Structure 1
């Protein structure tokens, strides 16, 4: 997952290298999300059919190919290809790896497994910009060295994965994998709606941080330190991990509306940062918004995983990520489109207003219709212990 955010602090350098606009930055970023969504819809249930390990090995192959594209980048097309391959990798990982971690956990450790899975996802996303920012600022060849390090990490991951046991007992041939129609088992639908709404807003906030915050820091705050801009983005993802850890104390049902409230506060802080051009408010918005995203995201994953059967778990989790990655792509492109006539600050404020309305509606819905409490014996799966 670190490879998917690795280019974040490097977009400014690519803009200087290839001379493209802020809109192009957001489109390059969003190509990744469209790759994720395509895989989730076409093969989101692949690991339920052929097994977890083959799908994850394939995902690592796409990750390596993405790094090679960035290493060979001599024109804008290489960036599009690299981002698309990165999206295909993440699409294969999201449902399969989350289900795999839950299945490999010792009996009775479902709560920790949910945290480990979601924390690995967000922690990896945070390590990407931090690693690339530090290397770009303090090492030579900033557009190459981060991706060479990524290739080494992919090789290590493949070596570890080959030693893990397969958890899908009844595997079928690859040809039996079919594209998934949008739909959910009836028992999941009541939980899925509010969980998906919270995930959408959280990922939309992360999408803006990941794609345009380095440009905002450079243009509006005169911050040209790649390590600092990468650290600000990483802080949002690490704060998400802290929010996920807090779910174990507050419970799944309360974590979703609390996450919406924290997201609303994070959006308000980001609006202040854009309006007054203050770096401390950018940092605070990353922390508060990240915590809110973590609360809502882990709560959403735990709620839909608990409500789905083992044979559909990866597919249902993949459906949740389809909604989340729609949030991380479509609003980001909207910011890119508006940044031309309105500037980054104006486009960001329009985005914040739209997301504030959505997260307020989602939080209000969750307060009126809270996520059902776990059945007896399921407390460990939700983190309520």
Structure 2
């Protein structure tokens, strides 16, 4: 192998690690505030209804970015989109640190949603672009988010319960990671050549909210979409209200335990994604749907009988279903379309989810 070839392969391997860590970082940031929500409620005295607003504005900002700039990396390159999003993410973490009322909290969540929405499709596409083999990309696109959600929640819960400065350390850690990854992107090869726009009007029209996939892959896309929607609905429920359920239903006022509820969900999902890799995607998705449904029913039963042990066990089962559905669907979606269409396909996927 010639020296230029080895150098190119090394840069691609480095790039794959960077974008994989990027997928981890943006989702870790999403779950990092969750164990702190009950703390904020106690500090500032806002209602559970307002807490759901804090979560909802994040989703609204995320959806807006997915619908407007979700496919932008197909036109201007992956690195500018991801790098800018990571810097916005770091800024949102600083707003979290400075927050002294719920208005600041909402502002931070909006900025965070903008960053995550802008980066999600581009990072998922870059992982596929830079993957060393066809199996590893979908796996990273599955375990990156689930591992990020799990460790973000568990790590934040641990820091809140046992470390000083509970409303600072978890956000500062994410901010440092985001800035470090933004710098590392300078050494990552660009995988989507910048074709640009033919005119200013074309650039403006590209920002009109839209979500679509190429006609030739639409049938397969629609088959896996309902499964993904179910999985992500459950994930959203746990991220927004999981810690509050531990406190309000089971009477456990411990932020680490509250973070473990989210970590159990997405940690078991990560394990499932690894175990299920390499199996027939259709079978993996079907298995995941069955486990997801069984887990949800058991979660409902645990709340009705107020059994925290059953709650965590049921959460683990639901998490295995979540991870199985996700990795199976990502295997299907990762093989769809041509390279210059991947940003759009992934952005549309996450928009619907």
Query: What range is the shorter-chain TM-score in?
Result: 0.7 to 0.9
CA distance in 1, matches of 2:258, 2:30: 17
Structure-1 residue corresponding to 2:143? 119
Deviation per CA, 1:172-207, whole angstroms, max 9, x where unpaired? 259534335333221121111121111111111111
CA distance in 2, matches of 1:94, 1:251: 25
CA distance in 2, matches of 1:231, 1:149: 19
Q: Is the 8 A contact 2:34 2:259 kept in 1?
A: yes
Structure-2 residue corresponding to 1:155? 179
CA distance in 1, matches of 2:209, 2:284: 29
Q: 2:129 aligns with which of 80, 100, 103?
A: 103
Structure-2 residue corresponding to 1:307? 336
Q: 2:345 aligns with which of 301, 316, 324?
A: 316
Q: 1:165 aligns with which of 189, 193, 208?
A: 189
Structure-2 residue corresponding to 1:27? 53
Deviation per CA, 1:225-253, whole angstroms, max 9, x where unpaired? 11111122112111111222233243111
Displacement of 1:155 in angstroms is 2.2
Give the 3-state SS of the residue equivalent to 2:277 in structure 1.
helix
Give the 3-state SS of the residue equivalent to 1:250 in structure 2.
coil
Q: Is the 8 A contact 2:277 2:327 kept in 1?
A: no
CA distance in 2, matches of 1:116, 1:282: 28
Q: 2:301 aligns with which of 272, 284, 300?
A: 272
Q: Which moved more, 1:37-46 or 1:115-124?
A: 115-124
- The yes-or-no answer on 1:89 pairing with 2:118 is no
Change (3 A) 1:267 1:224: same
Structure-2 residue corresponding to 1:15? 41
Q: TM-score, normalised by structure 1?
A: 0.80
Deviation per CA, 1:280-333, whole angstroms, max 9, x where unpaired? 122112211111111111222221231222211110111110111xxxxxxxxx
- The yes-or-no answer on 1:237 pairing with 2:231 is no
- The yes-or-no answer on 1:44 pairing with 2:70 is yes
Q: CA RMSD in A?
A: 1.6
CA distance in 1, matches of 2:320, 2:184: 30
Deviation per CA, 1:49-82, whole angstroms, max 9, x where unpaired? 1111111111111111111111111121111111
Give the 3-state SS of the residue equivalent to 2:187 in structure 1.
coil
Deviation per CA, 1:123-153, whole angstroms, max 9, x where unpaired? 1121211111111111112112221222222
Q: 2:89 aligns with which of 63, 66, 83?
A: 63
Q: Which moved more, 1:152-161 or 1:307-316?
A: 152-161
| Correspondences of 1:286-297 after superposition (within 5 Å) | 286-297=315-326
Work out the number of aligned pairs and report it: 322
CA distance in 1, matches of 2:29, 2:210: 29
| Correspondences of 1:124-203 after superposition (within 5 Å) | 124-172=148-196, 176=203, 177-203=206-232
CA distance in 1, matches of 2:342, 2:211: 15
CA distance in 1, matches of 2:207, 2:92: 25
CA distance in 2, matches of 1:82, 1:38: 16
Q: 1:281 aligns with which of 310, 316, 323?
A: 310
Structure-2 residue corresponding to 1:256? 285
CA distance in 1, matches of 2:314, 2:51: 22
Give the 3-state SS of the residue equivalent to 1:28 in structure 2.
helix
Gaps of 5+ in 1: 325-385
Q: TM-score, normalised by structure 2?
A: 0.87
Displacement of 1:170 in angstroms is 4.1
- The yes-or-no answer on 1:217 pairing with 2:246 is yes
